[in-house]
Structures are given as structure tokens and as C-alpha cells.
Structure 1
Amino acid sequence: MTLLRAIIVEDSEDDLFLMVRVLKKGGFDVIYTRVDTVEDLHNALQDDKWQIVISDHAMPLCSAPEALQVLKKSGRDLPFIIVSGTIGEEVAVAAMKAGAHDYIMKDKMARLAPAVERELRDAELRKQHRKYQKQLEFLSLHDQLTGLYNRVYFDNEMGRLECGRQYPIMFLSADLNGFKLINDTMGLKEGDRVLKDCAEILSRPLRKGDVLARVGGDEFAALLPGAENLNGPGLLNNIRSAVDQHNRENSRLPFSVSLGYAVSSDPDKPLAVAYQEADKMMRLDKQNQTESARNQVVNALLAALFERDYIAGGHAERLEKLCLKMGKEISLEQDRLTALSLVAQVHDLGKVGIPDSILFKKGELTDEEWAIMRQHPEKGYRIAQTSPELTHVADLILRHHEKWDGTGYPLGLKGKEIPVECRILLIVDAYDAMTNDRPYRQAMSKQEAIKELKRNAGTQFDPNLIEIFLKIIG
């Protein structure tokens, strides 16, 4: 049976029991309250549990039209059904025009249960429509990701405050530094997380009536009316302190924010001028800290790289040692040896942007997972290009998976088109991978690894360098 919670406006106990009996026969488990005065109906409507109002038409203390008016004033959208033995067609039509959803003659009570079922269904549809409309209204004025106001609302609010009585008005302009780098290397999901964290931090020092909006991809702005008691530099310092604290508590991927503010005290001066001044101050702040902000992100990514399980096992150190032996054996110049040493440590930097579920998967990767894995040289290249300490090895990071026969990635280079540092690294990396445990397989013996290197000389590996490497490892 379907549970039905009904307010029944009825002064006759016999008619009440008749309605309840008919509804139960129609498949409803009825929970009801009976009222017969306007005041009792008003009080009953304060309880949100009721789903419907069923009312007799003519009663001494509360007629159906009066009950309908009480329901309307309550703001509740409940079905209202009139049940009467005396209502005429003209009265019934007038009641429907006034807002009643149906009327049932007492000599046709079999219609009551189907009418209730229909009106409950229609009421649920109206409820869902209102919910959908509220969502659309919210989205039209808010940023879906952060929940902040959007640019449309911000501009409208600025227009509303223009020439009003809430001067002085402070503007705050904020821009998330290094956001493109975070998106390119760590992915959109991580970028979204940083955006939400930034939005939450920016909102902390603001007052209830202030307006904070996401006005661009990585740009935020705030309107602070009635700002006579606000301290602009203090506000910016509070935000920077909150960001610093967040970074200490969430060291995996720190972020920084460029900030600016301006105050408009003259109602005759367009507010847009003050907003532009705040934005200009923010961009100057951005110029002053862009390099340090990028280095902060890169250093965090490097730290994440060295926390990876196979890195912690000494992978980078073993690669650096063997690569330098190879480089010296072929008489590389000192600057190239230095680059080789560095790229041996950071060549997999782009893997910080690869999900652990792929990176440490036990078993073979699917084609889709391989496509994601093969993105790491380009991710690493983009990271390295933003760091003064890594710029000179960015091209080596990009090319470290190129193969001698041209079947490597991402550029498909072949033979001596591939930098010798990358050809060395490819051999050493493969040997280390084969002779140490990985999530997807156990280590080979040294003899098995040598056999595999020889088998792939001339296809995957530079055959001349293979001979040199085999001499080195004895």
C-alpha cells in the first residue's frame, strides 16, 4: 500500500471515516489529521509531513474556499481536493479556477483514490520542476565548480552598487599562479581541486554581505561594500597567511595566489575604474612572484616524484651512476655529463601526472592506459620548461623514450636523431627495470637482462652503446 499523509478538513466524523475507508480500499495507507476550523488548518500546515488537503465544501467554521485561501497563504504547494454532496457545477468550476485541483461528489467517491493518486503524481512533477528551476537559476549566477558567484552576477552587483549608499567600496582581485602547469601535468581533476581550495581560502576573511566571484578560469574577484573599516594590506596578508598554512598542511601540491586591491570612495567615479586598479595591482604582484611560484610547483612535483615507490628504492641513484659511467666511457663533455646526471634523476618527472592506478598496476596495461602512460614525457617536458634549473634538460626529458628504429614516442625519432644522452638513458633504464622488482613483475637475473638487451640491440637500443654498456656491467 502507498503511504498517504493527509489533512482532512471535515466536521463530520461519519464522512471522515467514509473518505478514509475509500482511500484504503484504493490502495492507500492513510495517516491523517482532521481539522474543522481555519485556525486548526493553519496550524496543521506548519508541519511539512502532509502531502494533500481534502476538504468538505460547506462547514460552519471553515468552508472549502476559506481552506483554499489558508493553503495559498501558507506557501505550500499541496494538492487540494474538494469532496461534497451539495456543490453545484458553477461552484465547482469557480473552485477549480481559484486553485482547487479536483472536486469529488460524495455519491461518486470511487473517484477519490484515482484523483488523489493523480494529484500526488502531478505535485511531485511540480516539485521536481521547481527544483530544476532553482538549479538553473543557481547555475546562471554561480560557478558550478566552486559554488562562488560567476562573472555575470559580479558585473550585475557592481552595477547595482554604482552610485549607491555603500561607499567606500573595496575591490579584491586574485589570480591562481601556475594553474596551467598544474592542469597540464597533474590533470583537470587535480586542477579543479586546487581551484576549490583557493576559492575556500579567499572566502574566509570576507564578511557575510561581500561578493566573491570566479570571473575567469583561474581569476577571482570580490566586492566589499561599506569598507570604511577594512584594511586592504591586512586583508591581503591574511589571505597569503592562509595559503601558506594550507601549503604546509597539504605539501603534495602547493599553490600561490597573486593579489591586488583598490578602494572607490567617490560615487561619481565609475566602479570599473577601481576594479581595474585592483586588477593592475594583482598583475604587478604576479610579475614579482611568477618565477618563484613556478619553482614552488616544480619542487613539489619533484618531491612527489622521489616519493614514488620505485624511486625510493634507489632507482634514480642507480641510473645516475651507470649513465655517468657510460658518458665518461664515450668521452662526453662535462656539461653534457652534468645534463646526463640530472636527466637520469628527473626523466620520469611527468609521471607525477599519471594516476597511481596505472603507474603501479599489477598486470598488463590496457591500450587506453598505455595511451595515458605515454603522455609522461610531454608532461615532464612542460614542467621542466617552467623551471630555470631544468630548462636545459627539457628536450632530453621529452625524448627519453625514443627508440633506435623509430618506434618510440612521442616524436618517433630514430638512430642518431635521438640525443646520445637519451640513448644511454634508455639502455640503463631498461636494464635497471629488468633487474629490479616492479609492481607488474618480479626482477630478472642479470644474465636474463643481458640476453634481452642483446636481443633488442639495433631495434630498441643503439647497438654500439649496448656493447659499451655490457663491458661496463661486466
Structure 2
Amino acid sequence: MSQSPKIEGIRDDVVLHEKTLEEAIFYNGPDMKYFYDEQGRLVRWNKKFQDVTGYSFKELSKMSLMDWYKGDEKNNRAVMDCIIRAGVEGFADIEAELQRNDGTILPIYFNAFTLYLDGHKYLACRIIDITERMKREKEIFYLSYHDQLTGLYNRRFYEEELKRLRTERNFPMSIVMGDVNGLKFINDSFGHHTGDELLKKVAEVIRDCCRSDDIIARLGGDEFVIILPKTDAMVAEKIIKRINNLSLAQKVGFLDVSISFGYATESSKEEKIEDILKNAENNMYNKKLFEGPVMKVKTIKAIINTLYKKNKEEEQHSHKVSKLCEKMGEALGLSEHAVNELKEVGLLHNIGKVAIHESIYNKTGNLTENELREIKSHCEIGYRMLNTANNMSDMAKYVLYHHERWDGLGYPKGLKGLEIPIASRIISIADAYDSMITERSNRKALSLETAIKELQRNAGHQFDRELVTLFITKILG
């Protein structure tokens, strides 16, 4: 065996044996390598090739050129063409599939080239496993055409499919626009996690009610669209009805699932697709004008019922505060509308507590700083819940400020004196009074006399002095 010539970058005292080095590189390389002779017999291969294919040394030594490419005839022909080109042109490559000994299929990058050694011609082959690469490519392709949250198609795919499907054989074709009712309300009240769960549930409902050829996409936010090929108006209405009926039976936690739909049908390519889409969208918004507010009112009722189920004491407290607020409104000579509003807001003043964990709400010991901060957040949560509902924006403000103090030391805004709405000042007194005279799990009830003294002691500090006087003389007698 001849020694290798001097190689730059290698110490002079290191003797390299060319054959040994070449053998090591060939045998231990990361890719699969093998050689065929002129008779198409497998004559040499490396360890990687034997490990991946799963064949023994004895089995490999008996294999011929095409023994690898079993099964798929199209795949076999492509590989054979690649090998022929390598024999003619000297080099060729292809992406193909390799069937292993256990029958499993491996996606591969295959290249072949001819070489001559001692007057003999060989075909050298190299295989790279491209499973991970193909997996990444599929993921990238999937993400480019799908909505990550719901798994439905995205706007890009919808727009491309809409162009592709507008052919005579797909007419009549109906376009259905959908909008989730109350998503902003739910995001603001319970956080985007709950809103995301609602969107996923909506996607599931629509998917379950549509056919395999229908295209369902989420355009973004609370908007969905369905392309219904070969579907007239009557069938489109049946599909929408099916979705609505199924959605009525669904809930996310205690929240109902509600979607407003509108549709339009295209009968021929002569019609402008812009007009079809606009009609579908207008029909959807007309439905939403009616269904959206109804949904919010239903949701507020569901929230109140859920709060009461979690805490019976809170139900009793809210009803008592509501009654005291009503009486205060009457004692002040307010209008019937204002009295009814006070009565309603007294019932809703703690609605934000539904978003607070029961373990904090019912804790008997001292609250940590974070727990106290969470408890105090119920004013702002309640405000966000009510502020999105029609005709409840004033009540939302009263809820927001019902823990403000006359001296400006309250929360969440630190308002003081007449800056605090009168309704909030009334709730503050009624809320404090009922809390004092009601026995709770962590403290005993105060007597009527003691509670009155506490109100008087805090008048001008925590409470409006004039309202406290009115409350004691007119309401408590």
C-alpha cells in the first residue's frame, strides 16, 4: 500500500493511508452509498445503506439493480430513467421513494454517476433521506393555506379557490358569509383564550355541517366564508339552517355559540363576483343587526346565572343591593326609567366576579397582593362586559365606579366627590351596608346599629354624606 503524498495542513509525522481513509469515509458517511457492476450486481455498500434498508449482508450480496424499487410502477420507471441517463450522460438525479425490507416507504433524493476503475465500468449511487425536509415543506405549505387557530383554510386559499371554481360546471354556486356574534364582548370580558375557544368551536360546527367539496375558510377575526359549488339558494339555506341548529346545542363553558349568516348565489360567469360577495355580506350584516344584540343580552344573563350558581351568597347579595338601590331612587324622586336602571345595575354590580377564580373569591384568610389586585379587577371586567351591549353603556360606567370613594382613595380610577356618578355612589352605600349585615363564611354579620354607625363614621370619606343620611332616614327608617 503506497503512502499518500504530503498534504498541506497535516503534520509531517502523520502518515495517512489513502485506502484506509477512503474506506472510512465511504463506510461511515451520513449518506447511503452503493455500487453496481456492469452486470447490474450490487458489489459494495456502506453501513448506513444496510442499516436503513434493513437487509442483511447476505441478502444485499444477492441483489440486483432494480430489486430496490418495488411496488409503485411510476416510481420504478422514473428511477430506471435516472439510472439510464447516468449511464449515458455520466450523472443524473431524482427525488423518488425507496421501499425498505419491512415494506415501509422512504422518500429519498437519489443520484447516480458512472465511474471507471481498472478498466471496469461501475454505477455509483447515493441516497439522502429527505423525510424531514418533506415534512417541513408540507408544514410550510399547510401554514401558507390554512388558518393556524381553527385549521380551516385561510383568506389566501379562499381567494385562489374562488377563481378556480368559477366555471360553468360549478354553477349555481353559493357564497355564505358568517360572523361570530359577541366575539369582542367575550374577548373583552373573559380574555382572548376564551374567544379563541369560541372560534375553534364555530369552525368545528361549520365543518360538521358542510359537505366534502365545500370550501370553508376563516377570513380573519370573527369572519368565516363558505363556498358551495353546484348549490342553489334553497340548498344553501338548508346548510345554513343545519349549522344554526347545531350551534344552538353547543357551548364554550357557559357561553352560547351564535353565528350570523348571509348568502348570495351566482348562476353564471356573466354576473360580477364583486356583487355576489357584497350581497352575501350585506345579508349577513342585516342578520347580525338583529342577532348580535340578542346574543349579548343572552350572554349577560348566562354570566349572571353562572355567577349565582358558583356563589349563592352573591345571588342573595345582588338581589338585596338591587332592592336597596331601587328604594334610594324612589326616595330621591328619580324618574321611573332612572329607578329601573338603578334596580338593574344593583343586580349587575358584581357581574365581573364571574371571571375571578372561586378559590380567590371564597378565600377565608388574608389575600395576597396579586389576589387583591384580581378581586379589584371585577369592576373593569364588569364594565367591559356591559359596555358592548346595546343601551347598557351608562350602567357599565356605574359598575366601573361603584368602588370609588368620596375622598378619592377608591379604585379603579381614583375619582372623588361629584366626579363619581350618583348611581355608583348609591351602589357603594347599598353594597357596603348589605355586606356588613350579612354573615359570610369568613366573618359574622354586624348588627343594624353597628352597621349604621359604620356608614355614619365613613360618611364624607368613603361615602357621599348626603346620600348616607338619606339612606339611614328614608330606607332604614
Equivalent position amino acid for 1:150 in 2: N
> Given the alignment of the two structures, is residue 77 of structure 1 paired with residue 106 of structure 2, yes or no?
yes
Please name the residue that 1:148 is paired with: 152
Equivalent position amino acid for 1:396 in 2: Y
Offset at residue 292 of structure 1 (A): 2.7
What secondary structure sits across from 1:189 in the alignment? Answer: helix
Please name the residue that 2:211 is paired with: 207
Please name the residue that 1:429 is paired with: 431
Equivalent position amino acid for 2:106 in 1: D
> Given the alignment of the two structures, is residue 245 of structure 1 paired with residue 249 of structure 2, yes or no?
yes
Offset at residue 136 of structure 1 (A): 3.0
Q: 2:322 aligns with which of 320, 323, 326?
A: 320
> Given the alignment of the two structures, is residue 222 of structure 1 paired with residue 250 of structure 2, yes or no?
no
C-alpha distance in structure 2 between counterparts of 1:445 and 1:214, whole Å: 56
Offset at residue 406 of structure 1 (A): 1.0
What secondary structure sits across from 1:190 in the alignment? Answer: helix
Change (3 A) 1:60 1:264: same
> Given the alignment of the two structures, is residue 177 of structure 1 paired with residue 202 of structure 2, yes or no?
no
Q: Flag the structure with larger Rg.
A: 2
Q: 2:126 aligns with which of 94, 98, 117?
A: 98
Q: What are the superposed Cα offsets for residues 366-396 of structure 1, whole Å, 9 maximum, x if unpaired? A: 4444444434333333443444564553332
Contact map agreement 2:263 2:283 (CA 8 A) in 1: yes
Offset at residue 327 of structure 1 (A): 4.9
C-alpha distance in structure 2 between counterparts of 1:266 and 1:214, whole Å: 25
Contact map agreement 2:175 2:265 (CA 8 A) in 1: yes
Contact map agreement 1:183 1:191 (CA 8 A) in 2: yes
Offset at residue 320 of structure 1 (A): 2.8
Matched residues, percent identical? 34
Change (3 A) 1:77 1:302: same
Contact map agreement 2:328 2:426 (CA 8 A) in 1: yes
Q: What are the superposed Cα offsets for residues 278-309 of structure 1, whole Å, 9 maximum, x if unpaired? A: 22322222234343333333333333344341
Contact map agreement 1:141 1:150 (CA 8 A) in 2: yes
Query: What pairs with 1:160-309 in structure 2 (closer than 5 Å)?
Result: 160-163=164-167, 165-227=169-231, 231-246=235-250, 252-309=254-311
Change (3 A) 1:367 1:207: same
TM-score (norm 1): 0.69
Change (3 A) 1:274 1:364: farther
Contact map agreement 2:174 2:233 (CA 8 A) in 1: no
Equivalent position amino acid for 1:53 in 2: G
Contact map agreement 1:319 1:425 (CA 8 A) in 2: yes
C-alpha distance in structure 1 between counterparts of 2:390 and 2:275, whole Å: 37
Offset at residue 362 of structure 1 (A): 4.9
Q: Compute the RMSD of aligned alpha carbons.
A: 3.9
Q: 1:135 aligns with which of 128, 136, 139?
A: 139
Contact map agreement 1:243 1:256 (CA 8 A) in 2: yes
Offset at residue 155 of structure 1 (A): 1.0
Change (3 A) 1:359 1:272: farther
Offset at residue 436 of structure 1 (A): 3.5
C-alpha distance in structure 2 between counterparts of 1:207 and 1:317, whole Å: 49
Offset at residue 181 of structure 1 (A): 1.4
C-alpha distance in structure 2 between counterparts of 1:78 and 1:150, whole Å: 29
Q: Structure 1: which 5+ residue stretches go unaligned?
A: 1-49, 81-86, 102-122
